[in-house]
Amino acid sequence: MNKRPIGIFDSGVGGLTVFREIRKQFPKEDIVYFGDTARVPYGPKSYTTVSAYSIQNARFLLQRGAKIIVIACNTSSSVALKQLQDSLPVPVIGVIEPGAKTAVSTTRNGKIGIIGTEGTIRSKAYSREISNLKKDCRVFSQACPLLVPLAEEGWEDHPVTTLTIKEYLKPLLEEEIDTLILGCTHYPILKEAIQKVVGDNIVLVDSAEAVSKQLYEILPDKENEGIGEDHFFVSDNEDKFRQIASRILNIKISKLIKVNLGESWYLS
């Protein structure tokens, strides 16, 4: 069990922020990361499609020997987590529950904001989880689809990014939230820009950090030895993945393989 890798999948490169935090927490573990770059983004797609893609991704990680699977995609977590937990022979964790728990324990006035993709916001998964944890919390949600391409473009400090964040967050700030969940794994890339817009009185909840803490409760890093190996897989556009990954992780990606998780593979 200890020698098998941690498996992480995402719709693309955003889940690398989750990978980054898990690698910090588990330096001795092998990690396999799959980014579904051929079919990104998941946010605007139907629940049926996202669920099918998530099953394919998880099965691929099982083929690679994963002992635990982390869904580093908020959209997949909101749509397919329960299905994967019920059907797979290994533990599966998503990013919704850890982020919601952190937000509930952080808020002072009970007003929590959520930003995410269209799919994540439409699912109301964060709202339900927060309500289950603390019913008197008020939740305000905002889909922010333009933030993903801005993050991937590397425009963290660009004036266009600042203006876009201000426009998206205006309704949430008017509600006087004191806690904001970054409900997309791309958004930690823009964390500093978002914090500048909302001010120091609003706490940002990074779901990547939250899921890493939850993983440690399930998988204490005590018995492995040496330095863990990283293996990266994508379904398309290896060069762009390398470029963005090098910026997010500050390392050169050497072990990167393109795979095809098409319909025929899924049905087999």
User: In angstroms, rounded to a whole number, what is the distance separating the alpha carbons of residues 240 and 134?
Assistant: 41
User: In angstroms, rounded to a whole number, what is the distance separating the alpha carbons of residues 126 and 205?
Assistant: 12
pLDDT at res. 115:
97
Same topology between domain 6-94+210-267 and domain 96-207: yes
Tokens 């998941």 locate to 42
pLDDT at res. 189:
93
Of the chain, the end-to-end C-alpha distance in Å amounts to: 26
H or E element, residue 51: helix 47-63
| Cross-strand pairs, 139 | 112
Domain ranges of the chain: 6-94+210-267, 96-207
- Catalytic choice (73, 143, 198, 203): 73
The DSSP letter of residue 142 is: E
Query: What is the residue-level pLDDT of the chain in tens, covering all 268 positions?
Result: 567 999 999 999 999 999 999 999 899 999 999 999 999 888 889 999 999 999 999 999 999 999 999 999 999 999 999 999 999 999 999 999 999 999 999 999 999 999 998 888 999 999 999 999 999 999 999 999 999 999 989 899 999 999 999 999 999 999 999 999 999 999 999 999 999 999 999 999 998 888 988 888 888 655 566 789 999 999 999 999 999 999 999 988 878 999 987 654 443 3
Instruction: Specify whether the backbone of 250 is left (phi greater than 0), alpha (psi in -120 to 50) or beta.
Output: left
Backbone dihedral angles phi then psi of residue 32, each to the nearest 5 degrees: -110, 125
CA-closest candidate to residue 260, choices 241, 237, 242, 236: 236
Q: Which two tokens stand for residue 230?
A: 């990283």
pLDDT at res. 221:
57
Is the CATH number of domain 6-94+210-267 3.40.50.1860? yes
Tokens 């289950």 locate to 132
The hierarchical CATH code for the domain 96-207 is 3.40.50.1860
- Catalytic choice (92, 148, 184, 261): 184
pLDDT at res. 1:
52
Catalytic: 73?
Answer: yes
CA-closest candidate to residue 35, choices 71, 65, 88: 71
Cβ pair 37, 240 in contact under 8 A: yes
